[in-house]
Amino acid sequence: MATGRTHRPATRSRGIPEATVARLPLYLRALTALSERSVPTVSSEELAAAAGVNSAKLRKDFSYLGSYGTRGVGYDVEYLVYQISRELGLTQDWPVVIVGIGNLGAALANYGGFASRGFRVAALIDADPAMAGKPVAGIAVQHTDELEHIIEDNGVSIGVIATPAGAAQQVCERLVAAGVTSILNFAPTVLSVPDGVDVRKVDLSIELQILAFHEQRKAGEETGHESAAPAPVADAGAVEAGRKGPDGDVPAVMPA
Amino acid sequence: MATGRTHRPATRSRGIPEATVARLPLYLRALTALSERSVPTVSSEELAAAAGVNSAKLRKDFSYLGSYGTRGVGYDVEYLVYQISRELGLTQDWPVVIVGIGNLGAALANYGGFASRGFRVAALIDADPAMAGKPVAGIAVQHTDELEHIIEDNGVSIGVIATPAGAAQQVCERLVAAGVTSILNFAPTVLSVPDGVDVRKVDLSIELQILAFHEQRKAGEETGHESAAPAPVADAGAVEAGRKGPDGDVPAVMPA
DNA sequence: AGTTGTGAAGTGTTTCACAGCA
DNA sequence: TGCTGTGAAACACTTCACAACT
């Protein structure tokens, strides 16, 4: 997944597998595109192709949410958009703070995909006093001194860390102390957090290294390997997937 | 999943599990830090803590690479750094192009973690003629027209796409046609590529959505059940036979 | 006829627990 | 004694294949 990490073992509530959760946003994106084109219904096969997964997996995933399809017909696009949004908690408003307004922080602040999915950038925070007051993506940057106030005043529970690695753990501790319980970490360092706090990480250099591993192997196989027969038509957009996440899931980028 | 996976179906050659490959960069980072502090050896327990995994997993991972440790002592830091680097293909030089030099592309270009791990930014490419010639991270941005030349002249096999979603597939096709076989995609869209091309994706909004999912669960659990302010949570109870879904709240639209 | 929903089988990953070696 | 390396067990995830339903 993106990597992604930090298991929350306890918490049985409703047993949606982590791997499924990591794919729901993918389905949601594909469904949103269909919705914008006013497509009323979609089959598992079509939707799976649009999301880059196979249809059996998609149907299994949806089966954890409930029986939202109609046999012989498919899924109602609007209804599914609603159900998945609700399942992901996107029907509510999530104020988010971004700490570390370098290039990456600015890129995140400007990223349109947030607002459209229930996330609202409540504040941009940077340690550089020279940044204070400067507008980025239409929001004035605030100094780190304000961090605790901002979190508390806005009821922020999700924080994004886009600082250099050296500052990340300290920022993390302040966020957590102020009440943040979910953190998306772009700094290339392992954060340690108390129980009950979720961390997901994105590290560009890790993703590139994984690509390099496979790239290297391709080069090695080119010679002295069987099969000239070039592939059995290759199904849909193979590739891609989420890792769940699991850190899997993987995920990727870095600090400014 | 970060956040991302990428299937490589057949290809058994050397059977290092994908999950293990995804963790090697993590170990490498921790080991590099130890190396800089001149720590000579490290136990699986210590290294695992530094990398944020558990020690049994780490030992299992290393066992796929070979027997590089010493019982009763631990692992030689320098030796392991070398072995992992070699396994990941980081002992060679990987020229990389970044396409799409907005905030994110610029953040990537400025990322120091590249050079230190065998990656070299060979070129920055943007479709905006006004960007051409401008220096970003000390490299002059080139126009998209040059894409094919650049790839071929530099023997680039890894490309990073940081364009808007609408341009991504087209850029991808040009990269692949010019010889790129590994792509790191930051655009929020599913890329379709021919067999033999690896894609890993990083989607900032997906990671946040996964956090929101867990965050919502936390809110719902806080007080034995819902009752906590936010979180719809749609408790079970109601429903009826036939529909197994949660379905607790006002559906926007019902399925046909 | 067409498509979902899902048990069951298959595959991959993590964890356990301890034998084997320094 | 201490720590690695690894079978075996447990768990998670994916795929198959078909019954159930529209």
- Percent of chain A scoring above 70 in pLDDT: 80
Strands B139-143 and B119-126 turn out to be parallel
The b/e string for B81-91 (b: 16+ C-beta within 10 A; e otherwise) is bebbbebbbbe
Q: What is the dihedral of CA A50, A51, A56, A59, to 10 degrees?
A: -100
- pLDDT score, position A53: 98
The length of chain B is 256
Q: How distant is C1' of D9 from CA of A58, in Å?
A: 30
B16 touches strand C (CB under 7 A): no
Does the structure show a pLDDT above 60 at A207?
A: yes
Alpha-carbon span A161 to B146, nearest angstrom: 35
Helix (H, G, I), strand (E, B), or coil: what is residue B112?
A: coil
**Chain B residues 2-61 with CB within 8 Å of chain A:** 2-9, 11, 13-14, 19, 21-26, 28-30, 50-52
Helix (H, G, I), strand (E, B), or coil: what is residue B88?
A: helix
Averaged pLDDT score across all residues of chain A: 85
Q: Is residue B58 within a helix (H) or strand (E), and if so which, with residue range?
A: helix B55-65
Residue A105, annotated ligand binder?
yes
Beta bridge partners of B96: B121, B158
Give A-chain residues touching B244 at CB under 8 angstroms.
66-67
- Percent of chain B scoring above 70 in pLDDT: 80
- Percent of chain A scoring above 90 in pLDDT: 76
- Residue A207 and residue B4: Cβ atoms within 8 Å? yes
Q: Which of A108, A99, A89 has the alpha carbon at shortest distance from A13?
A: A89
Does the structure show a pLDDT above 70 at A152?
A: yes
- pLDDT score, position B226: 38
**CATH domain A18-88 topology:** Arc Repressor Mutant, subunit A (1.10.10)
- CA A59, A211, B166 angle in degrees (round to 5)? 60
What are the Cα distances from residue B52, in Å, to A151, A192, B194, B210, B248? 27, 8, 35, 20, 38
DSSP H helices, chain A, are: 18-36, 44-51, 55-65, 77-88, 103-110, 112-115, 147-154, 165-178, 204-221
Nearest to B212 among A26, A94, A239 (CB): A94
- pLDDT score, position A222: 60
* Terminal Cα distance for chain B, rounded: 34
- pLDDT score, position A28: 98
Beta bridge partners of A97: A123, A159
Segment B136-193, tens digit of pLDDT: 999 999 999 999 999 999 999 999 999 999 999 999 999 999 999 999 999 999 999 9
**Chain B residues 188-217 with CB within 8 Å of chain A:** 188, 190-217
Residue B210, annotated ligand binder?
no
Q: Does B1 touch chain A (CB under 8 A)?
A: yes
Does the structure show a pLDDT above 70 at B229?
A: no
Segment B9-64, tens digit of pLDDT: 333 336 899 999 999 999 999 999 999 999 999 999 999 999 999 999 999 999 99
Nearest CA in chain B to A75: B255
| Region of residue B239 (left: phi > 0; alpha: psi -120 to 50; beta: else) | left
Mean pLDDT of B204-227: 80
Q: Does B166 touch chain A (CB under 8 A)?
A: no
CATH class of B94-202: alpha beta
Asked if residues A231 and B105 have their Cβ atoms less than 8 Å apart, the reply is no
Segment B75-101, tens digit of pLDDT: 999 999 999 999 999 999 999 999 999
Which pair of tokens denotes residue B240? 């009826």
CATH among 3.50.50.60, 3.10.450.50, 2.40.30.170, 3.40.50.720 for A94-204: 3.40.50.720
Helix (H, G, I), strand (E, B), or coil: what is residue B221?
A: helix
Alpha-carbon span B255 to A66, nearest angstrom: 13
- pLDDT score, position B150: 98
Give B-chain residues touching A249 at CB under 8 angstroms.
1-5
Averaged pLDDT score across all residues of chain B: 85
Alpha-carbon span A122 to A136, nearest angstrom: 12
Residue A100, annotated ligand binder?
yes
DSSP-derived secondary structure letter, B196: T
Where residue A1 falls among pLDDT bands split at 50, 70, 90?
very low
- pLDDT score, position A221: 64
Which pair of tokens denotes residue B249? 């709240």
Alpha-carbon span A156 to A158, nearest angstrom: 6
Q: How many CB atoms lie within 10 A of CB B254?
A: 8
- pLDDT score, position B220: 74
- pLDDT score, position A136: 97
Helix (H, G, I), strand (E, B), or coil: what is residue B159?
A: strand
Asked if residues B164 and B174 have their Cβ atoms less than 8 Å apart, the reply is no
Segment A215-250, tens digit of pLDDT: 999 887 665 443 333 333 233 333 333 333 333 333
Does the structure show a pLDDT above 50 at B245?
A: no
Between residues A34 and B246, the one the model is more confident about: A34
Segment A36-95, tens digit of pLDDT: 999 999 999 999 999 999 999 999 999 999 999 999 999 999 999 999 999 999 999 999
Does the structure show a pLDDT above 50 at A30?
A: yes
Segment B107-133, tens digit of pLDDT: 999 998 888 889 999 999 999 999 999
- pLDDT score, position A229: 31
Q: Is residue A172 within a helix (H) or strand (E), and if so which, with residue range?
A: helix A165-178
Alpha-carbon span A249 to B202, nearest angstrom: 10
- pLDDT score, position B112: 86
- CA B24, A3, B10 angle in degrees (round to 5)? 65
Give A-chain residues touching B120 at CB under 8 angstroms.
none
Helix (H, G, I), strand (E, B), or coil: what is residue B225?
A: strand
Where residue B222 falls among pLDDT bands split at 50, 70, 90?
low
CA A172 from centroid of its chain's CA atoms: 19
- For tokens 């099969």, what's the residue? A227
Domain ranges for chain A, please list them: 18-88, 94-204
Q: Does B249 touch chain A (CB under 8 A)?
A: yes
- For tokens 């030689």, what's the residue? B76
Torsion sign (Cα): A187, B188, A213, A5:
positive
Mean pLDDT of A199-211: 96
Which pair of tokens denotes residue B251? 């559906």
Which pair of tokens denotes residue B85? 């680097």
Does the structure show a pLDDT above 80 at A9?
A: no
> What DSSP string describes A181-216?
-EEEE-SSS-----TT-EEEE--HHHHHHHHHHHHH
Between residues B65 and B237, the one the model is more confident about: B65
